[in-house]
Amino acid sequence: MRQKNQLSSLDKHLCFSIYACSRAILRLYRPYLDELNLTYPQYLVLVVLWEHEESTIKHLGELLDLDSGTLTPMLKRMESAELLKRTRAKEDERIVRIHITDKGKALQTKAMCIPDSLIQSTQMTDEEMMTLNTTIKKLMEQVNTN
């Protein structure tokens, strides 16, 4: 059994460490995202589309852990910026497909420095970063199943 005072200090709370780390990473990413005129969630949408070129709103929501109420307005803004195109599936109009545009694809080269900036700032090895990512994913999986 854990002692009561083990978790009485803020620096011993895993959730705070993850939260603070996430905020620090977003601060690191901010200048790069501002240069591309993207928010972090928009960047994540593009990361998915750079890999797959197209997706459905449902699949994007599952991958990014975002609901359609959050995704739809963001995707509309991205479509207005000509980064992607939304179309309804002919076989089922309830399904909305998202396709990356040439303008969206062109941002990929400019965005390559974003993950590199994190890797360089941590001074961690690739192996350490992969291990940390695997551990965080395992934690997330365990938390989501409870």
Percent of the chain past pLDDT 90, that is, above it, reads 80
Domain limits, the chain: 10-145
- Residue 42 burial (CB < 10 Å; 0-12/13-18/19+)? buried
Cα 81 to Cα 103: distance, rounded to the nearest angstrom: 9
Spatial separation of the C-alpha atoms in residues 99 and 87, rounded to whole Å = 8
Q: Is the pLDDT of residue 89 over 80?
A: yes
The CA–CA distances, whole Å, from 130 to 16, 125, 133, 135 equal 21, 9, 5, 9
Choose among 8, 11, 30: nearest CA to 19: 11
* Averaged pLDDT score across all residues of the chain: 92
For position 2, what pLDDT does the model report? Answer: 54
Contacts of residues 36-39 at CB distance under 8 Å and 24 or more positions apart, as own/partner, are 36/107, 36/110, 36/111, 37/81, 38/107, 39/74
Q: Is the pLDDT of residue 6 over 80?
A: no
Give the fold, CATH level 3, of 10-145.
Answer: Arc Repressor Mutant, subunit A (1.10.10)
Mean pLDDT calculated for residue range 46-73:
94
Spatial CB neighbours of 118, under 8 Å, sequence gap ≥ 6: 25, 28, 29
Percent of the chain exceeding pLDDT 70 equals: 95
The string of pLDDT tens digits covering residues 94-108 is 999 999 999 999 999
The whole-number average pLDDT for the span 67-93 is 94
Q: How far is residue 22's CA from residue 28's CA, in Å, rounded to a whole number?
A: 10
Listed in sequence order, the residues at least 6 apart from 17 whose beta carbon sits closer than 8 Å to its beta carbon are: 11
- pLDDT score recorded for residue 104: 97
- Give the residue with greater pLDDT, 61 vs 8: 61
